[in-house]
Amino acid sequence: MTMLHREPAVRSDRIPTPTDQRLAGIVDRVLEGTRLSREDGLLLYDTEDVHTVCALADLVRRRMHGDITWFNINRHINYSNICALSCSFCAFHRKRGDEGAYEYSIDQIREEAIKASEAGATELHIVGGLHPWLPFDYYTSMLQTINEVAPKLHIKAFTAVEIVHLQKISKRGRLKYQGTVEVLKDLIDAGLGSLPGGGAEVFDDRVHNEVFKTKIRSDEWLDVHKAAHELGLNSNTTMLYGHVDQRAERITHMEILRKQQDHTLRDWAVAQGINDVPGDVVLTGDAGKYPMNRLPAPGHDGLDTGYFQTIIPLPFFPDKSVLEHLPGPSGLENLRTLAISRLMLDNMPHVKAFWIMQTLDMAQFMLQNGADDIDGTVVWYDITHVEGASTHQETTVGDLQRAIREAGFIPKERDTLYREVERTGSEWKLASAEK
Ligand code: SF4
């Protein structure tokens, strides 16, 4: 049976003539596959010609991924909302004794893992608050228990701020970086498979001081991911924008991430004996310059370097947070920010339109404007609720596939490391696995 899919609204071979002449140089650089500068990024935010910004992001996305859009079958566990901190943008956290405060027992986590495995999920995504009294053993037991009952499930768990918290409560290592390495090693031994990208917010001291002062700063966030990459874990990254941040600060955030990824990919390539790697590792350019197949292999295949797989721009939701008086970003601002992320973060393989926070309709639209991944089926998500949504936020595989096809793309299921999955019902295996 031939699978029909609609023509996408924006085609990579039809870059419009910009109505804003200031964009002409950026169009040339994107067509050449040359890195965009900070000034370019600021202009992409400043211009009223959002159509050209999105068309360029779509061109880059198609150059890298063609008509493929990735999705996965996953489950989220937010193991506790009790948190020692009180970030002002966060409506998720509670203090001990507050109405709605909760924590999962290991038995509850075991049940969730079994349910996820029986439903055919390939991934558990686990994050929570910085719980003041749960011991380090709780976290290693959680991972070991999941591994025992559902060994095929990939565990993507703990944002960088949680890792720093675990480092403190486990009293691992007196030297900060070494302590991070040691705690990560313990977690890997217990079953950790990769790190999610949360907690990055916007890398800027002014924003940090204003809305999440007690949380780790960008240097610590980056160090946790650097340590994870050195230990062979892949990770994702995010940008929570649209609160007190300014657009220039978002560009700074992207530049910082891009610089760290440059170092990681260049060091890995040189270690592999690939010595012709340019200073700027531009994956979004001509495939001949730094082809995608020269990224560290998913699953690492004996190689021991991880990297940032995906940028996930996350719009701020004011509801029930201390910043409830702020309006939050508009849909157009979300679309523009995602497109700019695709254009500026030229060394990130993937851009995700996280449907839970963008809504499925908007995520579908974003696939035509820079995103190549729509995330997964989810089920329970406590962190942010789009207005009117409940904690139970689930979509079916059929709905995800339909949304992708309607946007003009071919849905492909992936595992956490972007390896293609073959599936019959809840039974699955990697497409690369031996037949
Ligand atoms: S954002 Fe994270 S660290 Fe900050 S209050 Fe919420 S749960 Fe705690």
Q: What is the pLDDT of residue 290?
A: 60
Ligand 1 atom index nearest CA of 84: 8
By C-alpha distance, which of 362, 368, 321 is closest to 342? 368
Both tokens of 330, joined, read 């508009």
pLDDT number for residue 349: 93
Token pair 């990055």 is found at: 200
Predicted pLDDT of residue 3:
37
Q: What is the mean pLDDT of residues 167-177?
A: 84
Please, what is the average pLDDT of the chain?
Answer: 87
Ligand 1 lining (C-beta closer than 6 Å) = 83, 85-87, 90, 92-93, 129-130, 161, 215
56: Cβ contacts below 8 Å, ≥ 6 apart: 15, 26, 27, 30, 339, 343
Looking at per-residue pLDDT, the higher value among 287 and 430 belongs to 430
| 214 CA distance to ligand 1 middle (Å) | 10
329-370 residue pLDDT tens:
899 999 999 999 999 999 999 999 988 888 889 999 999 999
Stretch among 52-66, 224-238, 365-379 having the lowest mean pLDDT: 365-379
Atom of ligand 1 nearest to the CA of 92: 6
| Residue 148 · residue 117 · CB < 8 Å | no
Tell me, what's the pLDDT at 390? 52
Lowest mean pLDDT among 5-9, 74-78, 174-178: 5-9
| Ligand 1, pocket-test mutation among 161, 217, 320, most atoms within 8 A of CB | 161
What is the 213 CA–ligand 1 centroid distance (Å)?
Answer: 11
Q: How confident is the model at residue 27 (pLDDT cuts 50, 70, 90)?
A: very high
CA of 94 to the centre of ligand 1 (A): 9
Q: What share of the chain in percent tops pLDDT 70?
A: 88
What average pLDDT does the segment 185-194 reach?
Answer: 96
Largest CA distance in the chain: 61
pLDDT at 79 over 80: yes
Identify which has the larger pLDDT, 26 or 6: 26
Q: Are 307 and 265 in contact (CB under 8 A)?
A: yes
CA of 93 to the centre of ligand 1 (A): 6
pLDDT in tens, 270-288: 887 877 777 788 888 776 5
Phi, psi dihedrals of residue 352, rounded to the nearest 5°: -105, 130
CATH topology of domain 21-430: TIM Barrel (3.20.20)
86: CA distance to ligand 1 center in Å?
6
pTM to 2 decimal places: 0.91
Nearest atom in ligand 1 to the alpha carbon of residue 89 is: 1
Question: Residue 432: its pLDDT value, please?
Answer: 82
Determine the pLDDT at residue 208.
Answer: 87
Which of the listed residues 81, 89, 93 should we mutate to test ligand 1's pocket, taking the one with most ligand atoms within 8 A of CB? Answer: 93
Ligand 1 centroid–CA 181 distance in Å is 23
